[in-house]
């Protein structure tokens, strides 16, 4: 079945460091890919998404490119801030585009801690 694998955390960085969180997936068909962020005690917030191969999603300085050849969707940010400390989840949805939305399959999450 479809699955998502993320690099294990926690990841600890100093402020202004470069961030990469690896995500690979297994899926039949052509899934949409997502990154969600979860701050302590809160639900999930969509950070960015990509719906087809070679698409780049971006938001708040974060970027991820849908790589079909390597089945990857790695999250990157050039300069992290203390406020980026959170848990990051990679996810996929195999619902066809235009459908009402299928289920999301999540990775196990990667905790990021940014120190001043």
Question: Which window, 22-30, 60-68, 71-79, 99-107, contacts another protein (CB under 8 A)?
Answer: 99-107
Rule CB under 8 A: choose which of 80, 105, 112, 114 binds another protein.
Answer: 105
Cα–Cα distance measured from residue 96 to residue 57, given in angstroms and rounded to the nearest whole number? 18
Query: Could you tell me whether strands 11-14 and 62-65 are parallel, antiparallel, or unpaired per DSSP bridges?
Result: unpaired
Is the Cβ of residue 97 or residue 116 nearer to another protein in the bound state?
Answer: 97
d(CA 90, CA 108): 8
CA dist 57 and 63 (Å) reads 6
| Cβ atoms of 19 and 80 closer than 8 Å | yes
What span, in angstroms and rounded, lies between the C-alpha atoms of 36 and 44?
Answer: 6
User: Could you tell me which stretch among 22-30, 42-50, 67-75, 78-86 binds another protein (CB under 8 A)?
Assistant: 42-50
Q: How far is the CB of 116 from another protein (least distance, A)?
A: 25
Q: Is residue 93 a contact point for another protein (CB under 8 A)?
A: yes
Footprint of another protein on this chain (CB under 8 A)? 4, 32, 34, 36, 42-46, 89, 91, 93, 95, 97-109
């Amino acid at each position: 079945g479809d699955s998502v694998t993320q690099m294990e955390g926690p990841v600890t960085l100093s402020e202004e460091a470069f961030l990469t969180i690896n995500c690979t997936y297994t899926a039949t068909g052509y899934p949409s890919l997502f990154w969600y962020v979860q701050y302590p005690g809160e639900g999930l917030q969509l950070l960015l998404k990509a719906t087809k191969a070679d698409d780049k999603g971006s938001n708040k300085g974060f970027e991820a490119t849908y790589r079909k050849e390597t089945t990857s969707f790695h999250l990157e940010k050039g300069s992290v801030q203390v406020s980026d400390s959170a848990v990051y989840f990679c996810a996929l949805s195999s619902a066809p585009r235009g459908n009402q939305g299928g289920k999301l399959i999540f990775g196990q999450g990667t905790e990021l801690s940014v120190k001043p």
